[in-house]
Amino acid sequence: MANPVLVEVTRGALVESVHRGSIAIADTAGHIVFSLGDIETAVYPRSSLKPIQALPLLESGAAEAFGLGGEEIALACASHSGEPMHTLRVAAWLERIGCGEQDLACGAHPSRYEPVAEAMIRRGEKPSRIHNNCSGKHTGFLTVARHWDIATAGYEGHDHPVQRAVAKALGELCGITEELPWGVDGCTVPNFAVPLAALARAFAKMAAPASLEASRANAATRIFRAMTAHPELVSGSGRA
């Protein structure tokens, strides 16, 4: 099925470009209540997967073991801007689990918040891995590895127990029993591909987890509350 045109970009009186896409909206019972285009072909959720990638952090008991609160949980789900409110918290969290910037598998990139990026340039200060928008997610992965007392080196690998736990949680939420196709995301960890319809059902369960077993429902609730209580940590200044 061809995906319909969802967006037209105009310049002056002319349409300059068109953008096709697909949409799936699910209710909490798992029914698709609205859709457009192809919702059954596997797609990469990319950073929208982060709340589900954070489930092992809570379900394993790692969050409790290291005294994490809503701020750290929000950062584990974040595509943050690399501002001090993000980097200082991530640095403190890494120290708490006995790790440092060198343990992060994500690369360095400049702050997405222009005033911070410009100030760093003026000071001659180079961005670190902690400035990476995924540094909170990666610190969450390291926290799980620390809690399980397993190797932190290679935590980004597809076969590492932390990533296998992520794949298991995603498959269960999506109702998929077979091995999920995957590719390497921009921050080096696996990103698992699922049909858009299945992803919509998974997020419906995350938002209203009454149908989930108790430990997963508790984890989903804590993630939802952390992200909505600390939106500035999930994103950054001047962003939605």
Mean pLDDT of the chain: 97
User: What is the largest distance, in Å, between two alpha-carbon atoms of the chain?
Assistant: 62
Sign of CA dihedral 61, 63, 65, 70: negative
What is the mean predicted confidence (pLDDT) over 26-51? 96
For residue 162 the two structure tokens come to 């932390």
Q: How far apart are CA 62 and CA 143, in angstroms?
A: 6
Eight-class DSSP state of 154: T
What single letter denotes the amino acid at residue 124? G
Mean pLDDT of 139-147: 98
DSSP labels, 185-234: -TTSSEEE-EEHHHHHHHHHHHHSGGGS-HHHHHHHHHHHHHHHH-HHHH
Residues in the chain: 240
pLDDT digits (tens, 9 = 90+) for 52-83: 999 999 999 999 999 999 999 999 999 999 99
Mean pLDDT of 194-219: 97
pLDDT tens digits, residue range 132-141? 999 999 999 9
Two tokens at 101?
Answer: 């910037």
**Rounded Cα gap, residues 111 and 105, in angstroms:** 18
Residues 157-192: tens digit of each pLDDT: 999 999 999 999 999 999 999 999 999 999 999 999
Contact 130, 91 (CB under 8 A): yes
Backbone angles phi, psi at 18, to 5 degrees: -125, 150
pLDDT digits (tens, 9 = 90+) for 110-128: 999 999 999 999 999 999 9
